[in-house]
A = this chain, B = another copy of it.
Amino acid sequence: MNDVAAGALSATAAFQLGTVGAITTDRYTRAIAPLKPKQAGILLVLSLFEGMSQQDLARKMGVAPSLLVGLLDELQDMGAVRRERDEHDRRRQIVVLTEAGRELYGTCAAAAKAMDEELLKDVADPEAFRAGLRQIAAGMGLPV
């Protein structure tokens, strides 16, 4: 490790974002267990747009609707989420955050926030880094 000049690939932001992102997700996954990252994502989206159909949720998250079924089943078993049949269109399940779900989301957010300190401890200008990350995320159409 630590050969500055030799590794042109390892010097790119693309490569570093990928690897750092993967490691961060690993740690984050452990921090929020037994919740899965995608489930935290569901809670996040629902906290922003209370009451979405599974289709809309899938679109917003960029995953196949079929993937949500199992994830929501588990969230429902945890009592974090409720599925309510839409009265105006009885094909749709409206997914709603429960009070417990809101708390669970708060726990995830707290865990992530706690990770930030450790994550940024080596960064000379954390605010500039945060800003850059936020701008990239915004450019990708993520909720910022």
A113 within 8 Å of B by Cβ? yes
Selecting from A40-48, A64-72, A84-92, the interface stretch reads A40-48
Chain B residues with CB below 8 A from A126, complex form = 132
Q: Contacts A21-B21, A21-B25, A135-B122 given; indicate if A11 touches B144 (C-beta within 8 A).
A: yes
Residue pair A6, B47 in contact (C-beta under 8 Å): yes
Size of the A side of the interface (Cβ < 8 Å), in residues, is 66
A 38-83 contacts with B by CB, 8 A = 40, 43-44, 47-48, 60
Considering the complex, give the chain B residue whose CB is closest to the CB of A136. B20
Q: Collect the chain B residues with CB atoms within 8 Å of residue A25's CB.
A: 17-18, 21-22
- On whether the beta carbons of A132 and B121 are closer than 8 Å, the reply is no
What residues of B have a CB within 8 angstroms of the CB of A123 in the complex?
Answer: 131-132, 135-136
A-B contact pairs, 23 of them (CB 8 A): A1-B60, A1-B141, A3-B48, A3-B143, A7-B48, A10-B142, A10-B143, A11-B134, A11-B144, A13-B129, A14-B116, A15-B28, A17-B17, A17-B24, A18-B37, A20-B21, A21-B22, A21-B25, A120-B136, A122-B136, A123-B132, A125-B132, A129-B133
Given contacts A12-B115, A15-B28, 15 further A-B contacts (CB under 8 A): A3-B143, A7-B47, A9-B44, A10-B142, A12-B116, A13-B116, A16-B137, A17-B21, A18-B21, A20-B137, A120-B136, A122-B135, A128-B128, A129-B133, A132-B132
